[in-house]
Structure 1
């Protein structure tokens, strides 16, 4: 069992990766979700990266993949109970982002301008 320095360390290891928190968020919005719907929701992610992140979340016990063994293939993804609890823990972060979106956008624009001058 890997050693964690604290609970936040354990959480960050599960959600590490640019897309995992968004995947968890969109899966928490409703019931089972087809791959294509998830791909449209998590904008700008490549197919390769989305598949990789879904496999990791599945291996970590956060996501359940259901293959209906049909032709044409039909697969959907849903959260496990552990995934539901993690997605719930992300809600305050979503709230903070919504409440501070304008300020964060301003700060990022300043950073981008500063980085442009530094070149």
Structure 2
């Protein structure tokens, strides 16, 4: 069995374009997607960084939001999680192309699970 790989980190930010420019210019990350709401997605070629544009009408606070694992078999991972006493991961909305499932750890931290990975097809590992 292959080990899940941490491949995605997400923050809610007040100015996604400005923060994306910082990571692009200072750390040479590449923007590979921009959502209609202004959220920016960058990559170093291995891990992607989601800069989720804060919405004034949202209850989601600015700061760390979630992380994500690329896994070989979501069903097997889900079964192990349920056996460990946490809820079964749920399907993400179809407008979120970078992960198929949302899960929660015993402390209530959100994380995503994806069989296809978190990068666009032309950048997949």
TM-score (ref. length: structure 1): 0.28
Query: Which structure is higher in helix share?
Result: 1
Query: Which structure is higher in strand share?
Result: 2
The structure with the larger Rg is 1
